[in-house]
């Protein structure tokens, strides 16, 4: 009763936690969604003139009160040159007449720079950047031997001067020097000699990438071959250990007569237990080597990815035609690699920690042998469930960080996901029940993979167990899939140990003492044989006569066996009982009935009925 109440309480607690997580997800998503699109009633009168999207500055624009700035980049390699400034425009859907948004101004300057710098490649002499005056404002212009008149690049305005804290002339001179240095650099990088040199360097980098890829591929292949060798050696060691243990057990059985039975059993259990823990330790040792090799293969893969990334970034940075994209190579792709490297590393570390924790749980010296074997069976299922859950969580985190990296609003996605999750939780309550009941089955160790169980009128060997379904293989070879929510009462036929409930009906004519002695003799003989001793956890117990009826005497024997051995032991015991009963002339009980012989003619004349006779049903 206490176990049932505890199970029900734990089930309610898990359901409460799941509902709480879904509700928290809904609340957080709604808050994030609300923060990205606030209600109109919470905005000031200025906000009411336009939407929230129009009020916020666009990407690449920084707002400083009454001024907004945008950066001018080099058309060569996207290097930052200087910032242009314009008065702040809050509502870009309704731009005041005579005002130009700062992003439009920055785009115009960038287009002029690209157009003029492209023409500079055909000029024989390096173009000259000068400062002139137009409408009482300094302008920066460029001229070369291919242009008939100078081309205006940018006009220095009062907002530029005010924001930078310099006079118009000082700021114009500063920008003129920056642009002149950029023109000189552009002219130098477009010379044929330098282009050929950069191309040779790019080919050398590409050749180095190919050589490094070949070396890493060779190392990964060696690690893969080593994994196969370790697995084959591990299987061979297990086979040798099993054979040695079998020979050792036979030798111990020959020497069991010289030792008291209780001492022999205690020694045997201790030896089995130490041997079982030794096998687990060897399994963990080999698994650690395999995990280390897998980790090295993973490290080599990421080294290969980073080498190619660095090589491509280097090629883009030195080839003048590709230099304009170098800033993009070092920005978003690098962050993307860091995110998924961290996710992959977190998954591997979490899986390793789960394996170590479960290993320490399995080799606990304080646990009895049977319980340690049970834990070894169920630890695989628990480990796979935990690893799958953590992998799912880390992948979801990586997807969210990736979306944020590409400026995709995750608030609305989380809100939508929370709403969908809540709808699924209400619409798929059976799925939630499956997951909850699957957790309870694993936590309470109701059954594990390899057990033979009975659920209602279904029974079979548990072939697969996860958080949603349980799959059984019955005696006819059918695979039965049962949702975990449908499992309410389960009978485990192989939990720690099994039992044969042997009962047989013998006739009244037999001597009951002789019958019991024959059964004891058969039980002791079976228990004394080495072939069957390791399958029996204790000597069979002849309980005696359980029932007396008109068919005979019911005799019962209990045989406690190792898990999964009750069927083979039961068949052997029944065969020996049949042979022993035949040798000792013990008869099986037979149903009896009474037959009344009635003469209808005499009965009509008032004559008495004949005497009843007892007849066997089988005669």
How sure is the predictor about 508, in pLDDT bands with cuts at 50, 70 and 90?
A: confident
pLDDT above 90 (res 69): yes
Instruction: Select from 512, 499, 500 the least CA-distant residue to 555.
Output: 512
Ranges 349-353, 369-373, 516-520: which has the least confidence:
369-373
Domain ranges within the chain, ordered by starting residue: 60-190, 196-413, 498-588
Average pLDDT over residues 394-400: 88
Convert 497-534 to b/e letters by CB count within 10 Å (16 or more is b): ebebebebebeeebeeeebbebbeebbeebbeeeebbb
DSSP single-letter state for residue 79: -
Is the model's pLDDT at 516 over the cut of 90? yes
pLDDT average, residue stretch 472-484: 91
Q: For residues 290 and 263, give the distance between their C-alpha atoms in angstroms, rounded to a whole number.
A: 40
Distance CA 295, CA 131 (A): 61
pLDDT mean across residues, the chain: 76
- Per-residue pLDDT tens over the stretch 437-466: 887 887 777 887 888 999 988 999 988 887
Q: Which of 26-40, 483-497, 533-547 has the lowest average pLDDT?
A: 26-40
Strands 498-506 and 151-155: unpaired
More confident residue, 337 or 362: 337
The whole-angstrom separation of Cα 274 and Cα 381 is: 24
Contact 79, 117 (CB under 8 A): no
Mean pLDDT for the stretch of residues 262-283: 51
- Whether the predicted pLDDT of 475 surpasses 80: yes
Total H helices, total E strands in the chain: 16, 16
What is the pLDDT confidence band of residue 36, given thresholds at 50, 70 and 90?
very low
CATH architecture of the domain formed by 498-588 = 2-Layer Sandwich (3.30)
pLDDT digits (tens, 9 = 90+) for 274-284: 555 455 555 55
**pLDDT at position 77, please?**
75
> Between the CA of residue 332 and those of 318, 337, 358, 372, what are the distances in Å?
19, 9, 39, 50
Say what percent of the chain tops pLDDT 70: 70
Of 606 and 419, which is predicted with more confidence? Answer: 419
Would the pLDDT of 300 be above 50?
A: yes
Task: For residue 99, give the 3-state DSSP assignment.
Answer: coil
13 and 403 Cβ atoms separated by less than 8 Å: no
CB 473 within 8 A of CB 482: no
Q: Give the Cα separation of 153 and 285 in Å (integer).
A: 70
Q: Tell me how far apart the alpha carbons of residues 411 and 58 are, in angstroms, rounded to a whole number.
A: 19
Half-sphere exposure of 53 (CA within 13 A, CB side): 1
3-class SS at 615? strand
* DSSP letter string, 356-376: HHHHHHHT-TTS-HHHHHHHH
Q: Is the pTM of this model over 0.95?
A: no
Max CA pair span of the chain: 154
Cβ–Cβ under 8 Å, residues 83 and 156? no
Helix H or strand E segment including 460: strand 458-465
Long-range contacts of 274-282 (CB under 8 A, 24+ apart): 275/241, 275/245, 276/369, 276/372, 276/373, 277/363, 277/365, 277/372, 279/238, 279/241, 280/359, 280/362, 280/363, 280/372, 280/376, 281/363, 282/234, 282/237, 282/241
- Identify the pLDDT of residue 7: 47
Q: Are 44 and 53 within 8 A, CB to CB?
A: no
Mean pLDDT of 235-241: 61
pLDDT, mean of residues 491-497: 83
Query: 50 falls in which pLDDT band (50, 70, 90)?
Result: very low
Tens digit of each residue's pLDDT (9 = 90 or more) over 563-613: 888 899 999 999 999 999 999 999 988 876 666 565 555 545 554 444 554
pLDDT beyond 50 at 352: yes
- Give the model's confidence band at 363: pLDDT under 50 very low, under 70 low, under 90 confident, else very high: low
What is the gyration radius of the CA atoms in the chain, in angstroms?
A: 43
**How many CB atoms sit inside 10 A of residue 65's CB?**
6
| pLDDT confidence of residue 3 | 44
Cβ(323)–Cβ(202) under 8 Å? no
In sequence order, the β-bridge partners of residue 67 are 64, 87
The pLDDT value recorded for residue 335 is 84
- Give the 3-state secondary structure of 170-212: HHHHHHHHHHHHHHHHHHHHCCHHHHHHHHHHHHHHHHHHHHH
């Amino acid at each position: 009763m206490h176990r049932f109440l505890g199970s029900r309480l734990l089930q309610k607690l898990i359901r409460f936690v799941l509902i709480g997580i879904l509700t928290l997800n809904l609340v957080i998503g709604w808050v994030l969604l609300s923060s990205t699109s606030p209600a109109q009633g919470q905005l000031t009168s200025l906000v009411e003139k336009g939407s929230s999207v129009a009020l916020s500055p666009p990407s690449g624009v920084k707002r400083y009160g009454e001024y907004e700035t945008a950066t001018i980049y080099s058309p060569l390699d996207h290097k930052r040159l200087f910032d242009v400034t314009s008065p702040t425009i809050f509502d870009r859907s309704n731009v005041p007449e005579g005002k130009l948004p700062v992003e439009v101004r920055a785009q115009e300057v960038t287009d002029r720079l690209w157009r003029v710098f492209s023409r500079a490649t055909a000029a024989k002499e390096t173009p000259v950047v000068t400062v002139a005056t137009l409408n009482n404002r300094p302008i920066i212009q460029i001229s070369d031997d291919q242009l008939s008149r100078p081309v205006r690049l940018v006009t220095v305005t009062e907002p530029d001067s005010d924001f930078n804290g310099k006079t118009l002339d000082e700021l114009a001179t500063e920008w003129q020097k920056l642009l002149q240095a950029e023109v000189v650099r552009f002219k130098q990088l477009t010379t044929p000699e330098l282009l050929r040199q950069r191309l040779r360097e790019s080919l050398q980098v590409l050749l180095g990438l190919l050589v490094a890829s070949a070396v890493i591929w060779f190392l990964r292949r060696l690690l893969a071959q080593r994994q196969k060798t370790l697995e084959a050696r591990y299987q061979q060691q297990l086979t040798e250990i099993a054979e040695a243990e079998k020979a050792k057990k036979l030798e111990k059985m020959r020497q069991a007569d010289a030792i008291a039975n209780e001492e022999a059993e205690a020694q045997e259990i201790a030896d089995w237990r130490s041997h079982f823990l030794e096998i687990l330790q060897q399994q963990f040792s080999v698994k650690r080597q395999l995990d280390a090799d897998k980790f090295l293969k993973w490290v080599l893969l990421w080294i290969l990815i980073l080498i190619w990334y660095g090589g491509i970034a280097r090629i883009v940075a030195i080839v003048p035609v590709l230099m304009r994209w170098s800033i993009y190579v070092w920005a978003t792709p690098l962050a993307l690699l860091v995110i998924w490297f961290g996710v992959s590393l977190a998954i591997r570390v979490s899986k390793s920690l789960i394996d170590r924790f479960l290993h320490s749980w399995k080799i606990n010296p304080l646990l009895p042998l049977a319980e340690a074997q049970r834990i070894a069976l169920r630890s695989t299922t628990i480990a796979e469930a935990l690893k799958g859950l953590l992998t799912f969580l880390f992948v979801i985190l990586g997807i969210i960080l990736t979306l944020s990296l590409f400026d995709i609003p995750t608030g609305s996605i989380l809100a939508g996901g929370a709403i969908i999750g809540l709808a699924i939780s209400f619409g798929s309550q059976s799925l939630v029940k499956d997951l909850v009941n699957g957790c309870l089955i694993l936590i309470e160790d109701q059954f594990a993979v390899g057990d033979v169980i009975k659920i209602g009128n279904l029974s079979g060997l548990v072939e697969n167990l996860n958080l949603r379904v349980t799959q059984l293989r019955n005696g006819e070879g059918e695979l039965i899939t049962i949702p975990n929510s449908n499992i309410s009462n389960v009978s485990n036929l192989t939990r720690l140990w099994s039992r044969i409930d042997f009962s047989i009906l013998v006739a009244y004519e037999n001597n009951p003492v002789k019958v019991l002695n024959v059964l004891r003799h058969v039980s002791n003989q079976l228990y004394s044989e080495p072939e069957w001793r390791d399958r029996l956890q204790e000597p069979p117990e002849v309980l005696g006569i359980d029932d007396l009826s008109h068919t005979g005497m019911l005799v019962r024997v209990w045989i406690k066996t190792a898990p999964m051995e009750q069927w083979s032991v039961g068949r052997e015991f029944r065969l020996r009982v049949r042979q022993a009963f035949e040798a000792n002339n013990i008869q099986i009980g037979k149903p009896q009935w009474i037959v009344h012989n009635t003469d209808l003619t005499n009965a009509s004349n008032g004559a008495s009925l004949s005497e009843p006779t007892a007849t066997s049903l089988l005669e």
